[in-house]
Amino acid sequence: MNGSSWVRRSVALYLLAWMMLGVLLAGLIVAATGAGPLASLLFAVPLTLCYASACGFSAYYLCRAYPLGKRRLGAVLSVFVFSAATAALMWCVAGSAWASLCTLVLAQADAVAVTRPFVAMMFGIGVLLYWMTAVAHYLALEFERARRAETQALESRLLAQDAELRMLRTQVDPHFLFNSLNSISALTSIDPGKARDMSLQLAGFFRHTLGLEAHRKVSLGEEMALLERFVAIEQVRFGPRLAFTRQVGEDAAQCLLPPMILQPLVENAVKHGIGQMLDGGRITVWAERAGSLLRLRVQNDIDPDEAGAAAAPGAIGLANVRQRLAAAYGRQASVHWTREDDKFRVDLVLPAETTESLMGDADARTDRR
Is residue 116 included in any domain, yes or no?
A: yes
C-beta of residue 228 within 8 angstroms of C-beta of residue 244: yes
Give the whole-angstrom CA distance, residue 220 versus residue 224.
6
- Identify the domain boundary among 153, 182, 203: 153
Of 4-18, 87-101, 132-146, 181-195, give the lowest mean pLDDT range.
4-18
pLDDT in tens, 299-321: 999 987 765 444 566 677 788 78
At 215 the pLDDT is 59
334 and 220 within one domain: yes
pLDDT of 225 > 70? The answer is yes
Mean pLDDT of the chain, nearest integer: 83
At 171 the pLDDT is 60
At 283 the pLDDT is 96
More confident residue, 5 or 138: 138
Taking CA atoms, 216 is separated from 36, 165, 252, in Å, by 65, 11, 18
Residue 279: closest CA among 303, 257, 297: 303
Max mean pLDDT among 29-33, 80-84, 134-138, 347-351 falls in: 347-351
> What is the average pLDDT across 255-280?
89
Is residue 345 included in any domain, yes or no?
A: yes
C-beta of residue 302 within 8 angstroms of C-beta of residue 362: no
Confidence of residue 366 (pLDDT cuts 50, 70, 90): very low
At 361 the pLDDT is 55
Q: Would you give the DSSP letter of residue 330? A: G
142 and 187 within one domain: no
Confidence of residue 100 (pLDDT cuts 50, 70, 90): confident
At 310 the pLDDT is 47
Is residue 158 included in any domain, yes or no?
A: no
Of 110-114, 267-271, 274-278, give the lowest mean pLDDT range.
110-114
In percent, the amount of the chain with pLDDT more than 90 equals 21
- Identify the domain boundary among 153, 186, 215: 153
pLDDT in tens, 252-264: 999 999 888 898 8
Residue span of the structural domain in which 147 resides: 3-153
C-beta of residue 184 within 8 angstroms of C-beta of residue 198: yes
